[in-house]
């Protein structure tokens, strides 16, 4: 049994948090490869080390003094080192970092030091090998990720190490230039390592006990999702639910390795298992609810639209020409509606409308703004009759007007459009009928 374990910033924000992590790793000897993030916030008013590094580097880049800020970062690490009573110092490392900042080594280099230094401390604390991600995570010269070389380098280096710490978030080009993934990218490193070592499980430790059925800012004490498929997760993540970096799914999904989201502060909780497929019957008909506000519906009407070949293509072309991505496209016989992001659309609306006018000569085009989309996702919906009926009667009871309905043919999700102002109430109504009432 081989497990790859990734710990997020809040799990490593202080010496106390490090100790919890140490206990978790030592409790299971199959936890052989460890991916740390940089120290995160110790409380809500704190600053993540990654953000401190970006700010500090900005000063260096502008030729301003940055010693004070760099020392504050050093203090964060020293506090951890002393709290863990480790016999080590990062003085030499910080000398190198100072030189590199002065030489303007780049903001990616700067940000990567958060994980690098935390990895050094973690390796010392656990007595594991330290493997610099710069030697095993590879990027192409244009900055894009090089999956093939990375897989090869990781397998080669890790087969020579029984137990190792590999810092998350960054790698390098062949010439040594440091490159980072986007924010939250340590999740991706963990997934890549899990694939390369053919792990049985990728544990992703964070500060929540798994994926919640609904956003806790709307549903207090939301139920936790016990098991979710990659497909369901994609649907929910696309609609804004986030625990895991989106790109972290692909490497392990391809290799058939499950991900287990766990809580460092409540290690006895099972968390959420993310799997390729499962025969487990979900506890509720739905797996999760997620949504986003801020959409515009562009309604286009024309008599005999359905008989006009190429109508949809021409309409969609107007959005494409203006670089606007389309969210949903419900249609009637002589009407079609295109849902787009309001912010993205606002600047270009007149151009898009005049292009549509020119290309298809519609009878009317009308715009409705301030709409929200809500995705109700669940593999259980396929086998349950009456899901849509219950969903819409719950919304009707809550006096919510449904503007749009879209059910994918996979029956994995139902997307509904409502007014922004009804967003929270709609989610509450859906949660109540499927989770609280357990229907
Ligand atoms: N430390 C980086 C960030 O704050 C990467 C990560 O934590 O995964 O985004």
| Distance of alpha carbon 340 from alpha carbon 344, whole angstroms | 8
Question: Ligand 1: residues within 6 Å at CB?
Answer: 9, 37-38, 48, 50, 114, 168-169, 183-186
Q: What is residue 246's predicted lDDT score, i.e. its pLDDT? A: 87
Pocket test for ligand 1, best of 11, 17, 37, 53 (most atoms within 8 A of CB): 37
Torsional class of 221: left (φ above 0), alpha (ψ -120 to 50), beta (otherwise) = left
Residue 385: band (very low, low, confident or very high) from pLDDT cuts 50, 70, 90: confident
| Distance of alpha carbon 337 from alpha carbon 371, whole angstroms | 13
Ligand 1 centroid, distance to 297 Cα (angstroms): 35
Ligand 1 centroid, distance to 51 Cα (angstroms): 9
Report whether 326 contacts 340 (CB < 8 A): yes
Pocket test for ligand 1, best of 50, 76, 264 (most atoms within 8 A of CB): 50
Residue nearest ligand 1's atom 1 by CA: 38
User: Which atom number of ligand 1 is nearest to the Cα of residue 181?
Assistant: 5
User: Which atom number of ligand 1 is nearest to the Cα of residue 115?
Assistant: 1
Q: What is residue 439's predicted lDDT score, i.e. its pLDDT? A: 58
Residue nearest ligand 1's atom 8 by CA: 184
Quick: pLDDT tens for 75-117: 999 999 999 999 999 999 999 999 999 999 999 999 999 999 9
Ligand 1 centroid, distance to 218 Cα (angstroms): 26
Least confident of 33-37, 80-84, 239-243, 260-264: 239-243
Distance of CA 389 to the CA centre of its chain: 32
Per-residue tokens: 195:
């694939």
Asked if the model's pLDDT at residue 409 lies above 80, the reply is no
Ligand 1 centroid, distance to 277 Cα (angstroms): 29
Beta-strand ranges (E) seen in 168-214 are 170-173, 178-180, 201-206
| Distance of alpha carbon 23 from alpha carbon 342, whole angstroms | 47
Q: What is residue 436's predicted lDDT score, i.e. its pLDDT? A: 94
| Distance of alpha carbon 431 from alpha carbon 423, whole angstroms | 12
| Distance of alpha carbon 319 from alpha carbon 340, whole angstroms | 9
Q: Is the sign of the CA dihedral 245, 248, 253, 257 positive or negative?
A: negative
User: Which atom number of ligand 1 is nearest to the Cα of residue 187?
Assistant: 8
Ligand 1 centroid, distance to 90 Cα (angstroms): 21
Distances 340 to 15, 298, 300, 325 between C-alpha atoms, Å: 46, 8, 14, 7
Pocket test for ligand 1, best of 119, 185, 244 (most atoms within 8 A of CB): 185
Q: List the strands of the sheet with 164-165, edge to edge.
A: 129-130, 164-165, 31-36, 3-7, 201-206, 259-263, 272-275, 227-229
Pocket test for ligand 1, best of 7, 8, 9 (most atoms within 8 A of CB): 9
Residue 223: band (very low, low, confident or very high) from pLDDT cuts 50, 70, 90: very high
Residue nearest ligand 1's atom 6 by CA: 184
Q: What is residue 238's predicted lDDT score, i.e. its pLDDT? A: 84
Ligand 1 centroid, distance to 169 Cα (angstroms): 6
Mean pLDDT of the chain: 95
3-state SS of 316-366 is: HHHHHHCCCCEEECCECCCEEEEEEEHHHHHCCHHHHHHHHHHHHCCCEEE
Ligand 1 centroid, distance to 184 Cα (angstroms): 4
Report angle CA 147, 149, 30 to the nearest 5 degrees: 80
Ligand 1 centroid, distance to 50 Cα (angstroms): 7
Smallest CA-to-CA distance from 202 within 253, 130, 268 is with: 253
Element of type H or E holding 377: strand 364-377
Q: Averaged over 404-411, what is the pLDDT? A: 81
Coil, strand or helix: which one is 185? coil
Ligand 1 centroid, distance to 205 Cα (angstroms): 13
| Distance of alpha carbon 138 from alpha carbon 134, whole angstroms | 7
Pocket test for ligand 1, best of 113, 115, 206 (most atoms within 8 A of CB): 115
User: Which atom number of ligand 1 is nearest to the Cα of residue 168?
Assistant: 8
Q: What is the share, in percent, of the chain residues with pLDDT greater than 70?
A: 100
Least confident of 161-165, 200-204, 249-253: 249-253
Asked if the model's pLDDT at residue 358 lies above 70, the reply is yes
| Distance of alpha carbon 60 from alpha carbon 56, whole angstroms | 7
Ligand 1 centroid, distance to 186 Cα (angstroms): 6
Asked if the model's pLDDT at residue 169 lies above 70, the reply is yes
Quick: pLDDT tens for 267-310: 999 999 999 988 877 888 899 999 999 999 999 999 988 888 99
Place of tokens 């999904």: 253
Ligand 1 centroid, distance to 394 Cα (angstroms): 40
User: Which atom number of ligand 1 is nearest to the Cα of residue 8?
Assistant: 7
Report whether 404 contacts 419 (CB < 8 A): no
Q: What is residue 291's predicted lDDT score, i.e. its pLDDT? A: 95
Residue nearest ligand 1's atom 5 by CA: 184
Ligand 1 centroid, distance to 185 Cα (angstroms): 6
Tell me the pTM.
0.88
Quick: pLDDT tens for 14-53: 999 999 999 999 999 999 999 999 999 999 999 999 999 9
User: Which atom number of ligand 1 is nearest to the Cα of residue 48?
Assistant: 4
Ligand 1 centroid, distance to 168 Cα (angstroms): 8
């Amino acid at each position: 049994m081989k497990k790859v374990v990734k710990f997020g910033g809040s799990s490593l924000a202080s010496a106390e948090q490090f100790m919890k992590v140490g206990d978790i790793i030592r409790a299971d000897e199959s936890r052989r490869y460890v991916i740390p993030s940089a120290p995160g916030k110790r409380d809500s008013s704190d600053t993540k080390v990654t953000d401190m590094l970006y700010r500090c580097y900005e000063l260096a880049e502008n030729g301003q003094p940055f010693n004070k800020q760099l020392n504050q970062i050093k203090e964060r690490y020293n506090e951890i080192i002393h709290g863990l009573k480790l016999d080590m110092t990062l003085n030499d490392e910080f000398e190198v970092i100072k030189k590199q900042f002065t030489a303007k080594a780049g903001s990616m280099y700067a940000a990567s030091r958060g994980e690098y230094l935390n990895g050094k401390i973690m390796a010392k604390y656990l007595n594991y090998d330290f493997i610099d991600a710069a030697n095993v995570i590879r990027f192409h010269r244009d900055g894009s990720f090089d999956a093939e070389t990375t897989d090869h380098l990781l397998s080669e280096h890790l087969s020579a190490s029984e137990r190792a710490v590999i810092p998350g978030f960054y790698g390098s080009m062949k010439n040594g230039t440091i490159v980072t993934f986007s924010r939250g990218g340590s999740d991706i490193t963990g997934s890549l390592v899990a694939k390369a070592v053919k792990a049985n499980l990728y544990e992703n430790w964070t500060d929540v006990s798994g994926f919640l059925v609904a956003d806790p800012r709307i549903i207090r004490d939301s139920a936790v999702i016990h098991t979710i498929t990659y497909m369901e997760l994609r649907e929910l993540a696309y609609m804004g639910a986030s625990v895991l970096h989106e790109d972290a799914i692909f490497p392990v999904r391809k290799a058939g390795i499950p991900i287990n989201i766990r809580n460092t502060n409540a290690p006895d909780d099972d968390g959420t298992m993310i799997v390729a497929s499962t025969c487990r019957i979900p506890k509720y008909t739905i797996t999760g609810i997620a949504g986003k506000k801020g959409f515009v519906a562009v309604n286009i009407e024309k008599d005999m639209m359905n008989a006009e070949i190429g109508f949809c293509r021409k309409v969609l072309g107007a959005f494409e020409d203006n670089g606007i991505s389309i969210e949903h496209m419900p249609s009637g016989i002589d009407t079609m509606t295109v849902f787009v992001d309001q912010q993205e659309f606002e600047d270009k609306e007149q151009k898009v409308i005049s292009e549509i006018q020119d290309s298809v000569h519609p009878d009317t085009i009308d715009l409705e703004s301030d709409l929200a989309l809500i995705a109700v996702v669940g593999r259980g919906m396929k086998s349950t009759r009456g899901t849509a009926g219950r969903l819409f009667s719950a919304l009707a009871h809550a006096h919510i007007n449904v503007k749009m309905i879209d059910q994918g043919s996979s029956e994995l999700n139902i997307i509904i459009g409502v007014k922004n102002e009804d967003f929270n109430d709609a989610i509450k109504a859906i949660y109540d009928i499927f989770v609280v009432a357990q229907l």
